[in-house]
Chain A
Amino acid sequence: MKTVFRQRGAVLRLALVCWMMALFAAFSPAHAAGEAATEQVVRQQSQPLNNAPVWREVRSGQEHFTLARGPEAGVLIQSEGNTWRQWRNGPITQYGGWLLIIVPSLILLFWLVKGTMKLHDKPTGRKMRRFAPYERFIHWGTALTFLVLAATGLAMLFGKHVLAPIFGPGFLAWLLTIGKLVHNYVGPVFALFVVLMIISFLRDNVWQACDAIWIKRAGGLLGGDHVPSSRFNFGEKTWFWLGVTFLGLTVAVSGLVMDFPNYGWTRADMQLANIIHGVSGIVLLTLAFGHIYMGTVGVEGAYQSMKTGYVDETWAKEHHEFWYHDVKAGKSGHPQDSVTGARS
């Protein structure tokens, strides 16, 4: 008889649990919350003093009921924040910091040893148009916004380790108040320039057969001679795809996630965005050091091409021989206003 009662009790309990489950499946917006609550109900009956299901839920990071308004106000403990802290204050600050010291030092060392890459022949005085005004506008727009973002971003990550000990915490706070404002508003402008850059430079950055030669001879490092290439050599193409396109878009998107906080995403998303932003930003800046070096003191005449848009024919022949021939043959695909008439 007793067993029958016990069985009946068990059946009733099971029915109650099923009913509660059905109820919660129907009414609870989050199914997981319903399951946890069901577990809670069962536990209250079997072990009235054991409140473990509640305490498990505390660390789950899920939203509970609260009257408070605000992003994720219903979450009691979010554990991801600590992971984010470890990543940001640990490897990103330390390895990132070393990378940003070592790479420019190596570039400086390279320059001191090898010096500026000069033209072999004398300049002809005849100029070729290398960059259209709109291309130069997009380039300098990207470059300037990037430099502003890099400076303010570095101050935000390394300021308290580098600037505060020298200039004091008051100065750093003043600098970062402006820096954060600038970073947050210039960021979307940079993102726009990156997109324009990708669109306008895409055509000449696709793979060409001559890129294989460039790779084989490591861009002229092996053999010492200039390697013939199209409008952009493989080094420039790598910078375009890896730097501008991949890392540029990565920093832009991850930056926008943080620039518009809680616009449909959580702290965990913004923490991830911050880590991605930090890593890709530091790598992008490291690559940019190389690009800036090649575009200024590294190669004679390179800076003039982006400043004025024109290069000397000798420069074109020595650095981008196939492009030179394409232009001469009128096959470059870009309008030339100086192929016939020299422009000084």
Chain B
Amino acid sequence: MGRMKFLCDAERCIECNGCVTACKNENEVPWGVNRRRVVTMNDGVPGERSLSVACMHCSDAPCMAVCPTNCFYKTEEGVVLHDKDMCIGCGYCFFACPFGAPQFPNGPAAFGDRGKMDKCTFCAGGPEETGSKEEFAKYGSNRLAEGKLPACAEMCSTKALLAGDSSTVSDIFRDRVLRRGKGLEAWGWMTAYGAEQKEGAQ
């Protein structure tokens, strides 16, 4: 079993928002929720960089650690998923997440009435029966079960957004960095996967 990770190559992202659209279309995400978003730094300035960001499926996931109902769980592939039936919409995962991944259908509503949290599932569905209507309605597509990778990465026109097994993604990226001789920052990897790397070193 591999370890699924996302990697966005800032040297390649052209801010087309194709990943955002692909995600919304694939998962029929609720109104007001963007599981994935593209952020541009220094927009319009030479050397501007864009990054596509969603749930990074952290090794030591902060959302999981702070959830009062323990609604999160991790699959064998390292994908962080949650059970919407157990979500109370307290927003603690949103407080804790470094990437701003948890989203709420009602937005920042009065009296904390956010609705049930929604986030990127790495196109791996949720706790409902795989491929069922319920699973799709609550969590969206389960492409991983069909042997496919997340729609955002597959749709990426410049292949800036990579998704898949950690070692494969790393190999592709390392090869790119060597060829072009720049842009070696694997954005967010230390934040998301740093804890695991430390454990592996021991």
Residues of chain A whose beta carbon lies under 8 Å from any beta carbon of chain B: 33, 36-37, 40-41, 43-44, 49, 51, 53-55, 57-58, 64-79, 81-82, 84-85, 88-89, 156-157, 159-160, 164, 169-170, 172-173, 176-177, 179-180, 184-185, 188, 258-263, 267, 270-271, 274
CB distance from A31 to the nearest CB of B (A): 14
Q: Is the CB of B68 within 8 A of A160?
A: yes
Q: Is the CB of B34 within 8 A of A69?
A: yes
The interface residues of chain B, by DSSP majority, are classed as loop
Residues of chain B whose beta carbon lies under 8 Å from any beta carbon of chain A: 10, 17, 20, 32, 34, 37-43, 45-47, 49, 51, 53, 62, 65-71, 85-92, 94-100, 103, 107-114, 181-183, 185, 187-188, 191
Given A49-B181, A51-B185, A76-B53: A37 touches B71 (CB 8 Å cut-off): no
Other-chain contact of A72, B70, B100, B181, B183 (Cβ < 8 Å): B100
Q: Which residues of B contact A37 (CB under 8 A)?
A: 42, 45
Question: How far, in whole Å, are A156 and B92 apart by their CA atoms in the complex?
Answer: 11
The interface residues of chain A, by DSSP majority, are classed as helix
Q: Is the CB of B183 within 8 A of A51?
A: yes
Question: How far, in whole Å, are A58 and B185 apart by their CA atoms in the complex?
Answer: 11
Q: Is the CB of B39 within 8 A of A64?
A: yes
Q: Is the CB of A66 within 8 A of B191?
A: no
CB distance from A218 to the nearest CB of B (A): 40
Q: Which residues of B contact A84 (CB under 8 A)?
A: 66, 95-96
Q: Is the CB of A180 within 8 A of B107?
A: no
CB distance from B202 to the nearest CB of A (A): 21
Counting chain A CB atoms within 10 Å of each CB, which of B40, B49, B109 scores highest?
B49
CB distance from A272 to the nearest CB of B (A): 10
Q: Which residues of A contact B98 (CB under 8 A)?
A: 77-79, 81-82
10 CB-based A-B contacts, threshold 8 Å: A64-B43, A68-B20, A68-B38, A76-B51, A77-B191, A79-B98, A88-B66, A156-B68, A173-B69, A261-B114
Question: How far, in whole Å, are A76 and B43 apart by their CA atoms in the complex?
Answer: 14
Given A36-B42, A49-B182, A65-B39: A176 touches B69 (CB 8 Å cut-off): yes
Q: Which residues of B contact A33 (CB under 8 A)?
A: 42
Q: Is the CB of B41 within 8 A of A67?
A: no
Other-chain contact of A64, B41, B70, B187 (Cβ < 8 Å): B41
Q: Is the CB of A68 within 8 A of B37?
A: yes
Q: Which residues of B contact A262 (CB under 8 A)?
A: 108
Counting chain B CB atoms within 10 Å of each CB, which of A49, A66, A157 scores highest?
A66
CB distance from A254 to the nearest CB of B (A): 13
Given A40-B47, A176-B68: A184 touches B111 (CB 8 Å cut-off): yes
Q: Which residues of A contact B86 (CB under 8 A)?
A: 169-170, 173
Q: Is the CB of A40 within 8 A of B42?
A: yes
Q: Is the CB of B41 within 8 A of A259?
A: no
Question: How far, in whole Å, are A264 and B42 apart by their CA atoms in the complex?
Answer: 24
